[in-house]
Amino acid sequence: MMLANAGIEQRLVEIRQRIKQAVERSKRDPSTIRLLAVSKTQPVSGIEAAYQAGQRAFAENRVQEWREKAPGLPKNCQWHLVGRLQTNKVKYLDQTIAMIHSLDRFSLLKTLNEQGERRGTIWTTLVQVNIARDPAKAGLMPEEVPDFLTSVGECPYVQVQGLMTIGAMGVSLKETQGFFRQLRGLRDTLQSRKWPGVDLRELSMGMSQDFELAIEEGATLVRVGRQIFGERG
Ligand SMILES: *Cc1c(COP(=O)(O)O)cnc(C)c1O
């Protein structure tokens, strides 16, 4: 275990440095960009190593896995949920989930609102957009987002703080840049409209292979897994 985790601190230092450089290149305010360590499939010991190196924000993609790992970790870890969320798993979530990045359909919106009302909890979410129109990927089509946000306005226990996307697989960095730019453009267009419970300040985009590009295109949350923890087993 010690051996497997030994590189995590060093890799985090490198990632932070690369983020800093991307922020400088794009002349952005560094306080507007957050690194999420995507800890899915990683053992608690690996997450602890990242925590020791100062990382506090982590992302998991399966509710079950989060439920197994989170109790063994410090209480001030901040948890983000990035994977497809089944409606029957919402009941297992609690206020230690800082943000749900994968709000991608009406049924999930409805379930979150109902559970939120029952417990007096307001969920912080991002709307997942399938900006690449990749049939293999989840997310709303860009043209579906305005109607969806209108529905969010009718769900007082759900707040939307921005948009999230997962880049298409096997495309060039140039194409990925185009997708990031489109997501930002969609956000900018929608921001001029006002819906209750909607404030599109966050853009969750960019992973291990393209987080610097994402920052240059306006990402506020980058989700990095393998570059921190190493390849997933
Ligand atoms: C796994 C995952 C990531 C991290 O991917 P890496 O390539 O390991 O950086 C980011 N976002 C989502 C939604 C993921 O499922």
Q: How far is the CA of 131 from the centre of ligand 1 (A)?
A: 16
Ligand 1 pocket test target in 14, 35, 38, 208 with most atoms within 8 Å of CB: 38
Q: Which among 200, 197, 196 has a CA at the least distance from the CA of 220?
A: 200
**How many structural domains does the chain have?**
1
Pocket (CB within 6 angstroms of ligand 1): 38, 40, 61, 82-83, 166, 207-208, 223-227
Strands 57-60 and 221-224: unpaired
pLDDT digits (tens, 9 = 90+) for 70-99: 999 999 999 999 999 999 999 999 989 999
Q: Whose CA is closest to atom 5 on ligand 1?
A: 225
Name the pTM for this structure: 0.96
Which ligand 1 atom is nearest residue 82's CA? 13
CATH number at residue 218: 3.20.20.10
Residue 120: Cβ within 10 Å count: 8
Predicted pLDDT at 167: 85
Q: Which domain holds residue 180?
A: 2-229
Between the two ends of the chain, the Cα-to-Cα distance in Å is 14
Work out the angle at residue 31's Cα, subtended by the Cα atoms of residues 198 and 126, and round it to the nearest 5 degrees: 25
Dihedral angle computed from the Cα positions of residues 190, 192, 198 and 203, in that order, rounded to the nearest 10 degrees: 60
Which parts of the chain sit beneath pLDDT 70? 1-4, 233
Query: What pLDDT, on a 0 to 100 scale, did the predictor assign at position 231?
Result: 83
166 CA closest ligand 1 atom index = 13
Give the model's pLDDT for residue 1.
46
